[in-house]
Copies of this chain bind each other. A is one copy, B any other.
Amino acid sequence: MELPFKPVGPRRTFEGAVEQIAEQVRLGELSAGDRLPSERDLAAAMQISRATLREAVRVLADAGVLEVKPGSAGGIFVASDYVPLELLRSKSDLRLGEVAGVLEARRLFEPRVAQLAALNAREEDFAHLARILEAQKKLLAEGDVLEHEDRFLQLDTQFHLRIARATGNSTIVSLMRTLLRRLEIARDLALHEPPVAPWVIDIHERTLAAIRSADHQRIEEVMDEHLAGMERAWQQATDRALVRPVPDFLRPVAERARRDGA
């Protein structure tokens, strides 16, 4: 019997503020150049004192994520899109045996999210997704993928969250955030599963195209390919099969038909 009790909060309050701002930058909800609300407004929104908020800002400024400028037209600005992992260290823990469950949950959740996104996405969403892909391609072209592996993974996370936001459903965004948080932990546990950058970019491009086409079957198929690839990578990285096979009803209809016919 394990203890079901989790840490009640960040050890130091300002760390919670650091994490919250860092996560928003990491997930792409704040981008380089954006100006944050004033210290007073931020502190009020987060329900912490200004002194504590300032300590958080100082940490983020030291890390190069934020930049503060005094004066009437000054304020707090996002200085960099990239957030070092050290600033995040999520509170929730995940045992190694539960990593496969993250992939199973993605099977369950993400294809439907993508389909719903296809029904509700606006041009702005597509543009944002395309922009993320461009950034990844740029990293690849510059050969920085290995060096900045984490930067590449961060963009991957942003891509999936952005699809969730395209649904226009805040509950789904909330669920996706929960899922992605665990995914990032899982990636850390799984010995830095090597992302084959060109493959990821290719599959993401086809995912974007599929969502744009609003062809539900096509979305299901490309999502299946995406997740099947992740499952293979996990199996190779850990040298063991998935704890459970993917259940039939989580596979696309077309594949079932194909296999049943064969």
Contacts and interface: CB of A to CB of B under 8 A. Distances in A.
A7 interface: yes
Nearest to A98: B170
Contacts of A255: none
Query: How many copies altogether?
Result: 2
B4 A29 contact: yes
B172 A104 contact: yes
For the residues of A in contact with B, the DSSP-based class is: helix
A136 to B, nearest CB: 24
Contacts of A137: none
A9 interface: yes
Chain A, interface size category, equals 35 or more
Nearest to A253: B253
Given A4-B24, A108-B172, A112-B250, 8 more contacts: A3-B37, A7-B47, A94-B170, A105-B169, A108-B113, A115-B247, A119-B247, A178-B178
